[in-house]
Structure 1
Amino acid sequence: MEAESRLQAPFEQVAEKIAEEIRSGTYALGEKLPNQRDMAERYDVAIATLQKALGLLRDRGWVNSRAPIGTFVAASIPDSGEPLPSLPELSATVKDLQAEVASLRKSVDDLMAGRD
């Protein structure tokens, strides 16, 4: 895991730590998380880094935000026990999807050209 964490951006590392704490019960399902300033101190990161980590967790279904109340652990967490994907993994996936979309677009264009 140590080598893996060096490949992750700081916000990804924090998101993984929070997800692990949710898995372990440190933060209970439905529980309100501490305020962002306290969490940033706890994980020794800037508030902006913590906000990106919480955004990633929100996108993955681990937490929910209720403005202006705060951020809460989701009522149920994702089934996967796998770590969150790293930025390089997500980047590679996006590139693959872009190539697939370009290929599909060309196929559609070729089909449409044949109809004219």
Structure 2
Amino acid sequence: MEAETRPRAPFEQVAEKIAEEIRSGGYALGEKLPNQRDLAERYDVAIATMQKALGLLRERGWVNSRAPIGTFVAAVTPASEQPAPTLIELSAQVRDLQTEVSQLRQSVERLEAGQP
């Protein structure tokens, strides 16, 4: 059975568009966003819709508000938006760590034996 997806509210759609612009570099990390009125005009929504969209982006860690200065893109992308590593990538990381631990163990053993 297919999972049903509910239609997204306009503020959710706008929030996703802004998040996508941040992901693609349209808005740089740490950059100040245009004011709410200008954003509402750009995305062709009411100011109240834009306020809700920015609130959702704040909750999700995409933006920070600094009253009375404005809204800024967060300095880092939210962790939930980072792509999950694949099993192959995780296996490679484990192999690398095992090699590093082995090398460290050998170094410690040499030091304990009084060898440089």
Q: Runs of 5+ in structure 2 lacking a partner?
A: 83-116
* Higher percent of residues as helix: 1
- Once residues 78 and 68 of structure 1 are traced to their aligned partners in structure 2, the CA distance between those partners, rounded to angstroms, is 24
- Once residues 22 and 33 of structure 1 are traced to their aligned partners in structure 2, the CA distance between those partners, rounded to angstroms, is 11
TM-score by length of 2: 0.64
Larger Rg: 2
Instruction: Using the aligned pairs only, state the percent identity.
Output: 85
For CA contacts below 8 A with separation 6 or more, give which structure has more relative contact order: 1
Q: Does 1:71 align with 2:89?
A: no
Amino acid in structure 2 at the alignment position of 1:54: L
Count, aligned residues: 79
Moved over 6 A (4+): none
Counting only pairs closer than 5 Å after superposition, residues 1-116 of structure 1 correspond to structure 2 as 7-81=7-81
- Once residues 39 and 21 of structure 1 are traced to their aligned partners in structure 2, the CA distance between those partners, rounded to angstroms, is 13
TM-score by length of 1: 0.64
Amino acid in structure 2 at the alignment position of 1:13: Q
